Amino acid sequence: MVVFQKIGIIGLGMLGGSIALDVRRLGIAGEIIGASRRASTLRKARENGFVDRTTTDVHNLIRSVDFLILATPPKVITSYLRILAETNPGLLTTDVASVKEEIIETVNKYFGKSHWFVGSHPIAGSEVQGLAGSKSSLFVSRAVVVSPARNSCPAAVEKVKEFWLALGARVIQMDAREHDYILAVSSHLPHLTVYALVDTLKTVKNPHLYQCLGSGFKDATRIGKSNPQLWAEIFLANRKHLLVHLASYKRRLQRLESLLRGTRRNLLTRYLKEIVVYRESLDGKK
């Protein structure tokens, strides 16, 4: 199994915290060092045993670990990539951001002919935020997409894959562009449409409304509680692909509206049936 002397985790939110828990549980690192902008998060991470120690000196962290995980919000990653490229491009590094093309392009720009950065995206997000939302074994059976940059060293790609496999994940290697195109429809569009749905409900003023919300509504809109800062970032970072799928979605909504206005029950039933058969087929797929 892959083992490191010192793993550094910058960003101790739900994902960074969950990674720390598993690294410790599985004995993957001799030492886990956490970094975060918030002193209160660092204190909690130490007190609750997520990490062995914490630091606010990122430059020093980058020089002293043998595996670095960037688990901060996507926008902040760029600044760490610059420091990394300038000070220690041979450090095995990955990230956990939901949008990969922007990051990989930045890596292609900052880094030289051979480097040890490899992008990752564990598909294990949650509407629960922060270190308190961390879970042990979060990645077991979850998909983790690994996206190399143009000049990622092949040995680095293998190491990053081994790391996620050690955490129990199913690893899929994918080009950053393809990843973003797929995630735009499998994750980002659902979030966008759910936000719009919750906003529609929000404008209805009726005292009985709350009493009429069933479990269907609650489950369907659970992702409507996801962190607004993070999701504004994700939407904008993946705008290009998201707008393509949004246009497709609007056409399908229009088709449904036409069938509604047409009132031909058989046509509507047949259309819905195809959708239901497809949706049911997804449950069996891995």
Which residues on adjacent β-strands are paired with residue 115?
152
Tell me, residue by residue from 168 to 187, as one string, x for binding to a copy of itself by CB under 8 A and - for no binding: --x-x-x---xx-xxx-xxx
Smallest distance, a copy of itself to C-beta of residue 109, A:
20
**Residue count at the site for a copy of itself (CB under 8 A)?**
93
End-to-end CA distance of the chain: 24
Interface with a copy of itself (CB under 8 A), residue from 34, 147, 233, 258: 233
Q: How far apart are CA 67 and CA 235, in angstroms?
A: 29
Neighbouring CB atoms inside 10 A of 105's CB total 14
Q: Which stretch binds a copy of itself (CB under 8 A): 4-12, 22-30, 86-94, 245-253?
A: 245-253
Smallest distance, a copy of itself to C-beta of residue 270, A:
8
213, 268 contact by CB (below 8 A): no
Nearer to a copy of itself, 63 or 264 (CB): 264
Smallest distance, a copy of itself to C-beta of residue 18, A:
14
Q: How far apart are CA 226 and CA 221, in angstroms?
A: 10
Site for a copy of itself in 186-225 (CB under 8 A): 186-187, 189-204, 206, 208-214, 216-225
Interface with a copy of itself (CB under 8 A), residue from 124, 146, 149, 176: 124
Q: What is the amino acid identity at position 168?
A: G
Half-sphere exposure of 267 toward its Cβ, with a 13 Å CA cutoff? 10
Interface with a copy of itself (CB under 8 A), residue from 3, 83, 123, 166: 123
Please report, for residues 117, 180, 181, 223, the alpha-carbon distance to residue 174 in angstroms, rounded to integers and kept in the order given.
Answer: 15, 10, 11, 25
Nearer to a copy of itself, 40 or 203 (CB): 203
Nearer to a copy of itself, 106 or 173 (CB): 173
Q: How far apart are CA 149 and CA 157, in angstroms?
A: 9
Q: What is the amino acid identity at position 104?
A: I
Residue 272 touching a copy of itself (CB under 8 A): yes
Smallest distance, a copy of itself to C-beta of residue 176, A:
13
Nearer to a copy of itself, 92 or 183 (CB): 183
Tell me, residue by residue from 127 to 166, as one string, x for binding to a copy of itself by CB under 8 A and - for no binding: x--------------xx-x---------------------
Site for a copy of itself in 62-121 (CB under 8 A): none
**DSSP readout, 196-216?**
HHHHHHHT---TTGGGG--HH
Q: How far apart are CA 29 and CA 4, in angstroms?
A: 5
Q: Which two tokens stand for residue 222?
A: 């659970």
Site for a copy of itself in 7-36 (CB under 8 A): none
Q: How far apart are CA 55 and CA 63, in angstroms?
A: 13
Smallest distance, a copy of itself to C-beta of residue 163, A:
18
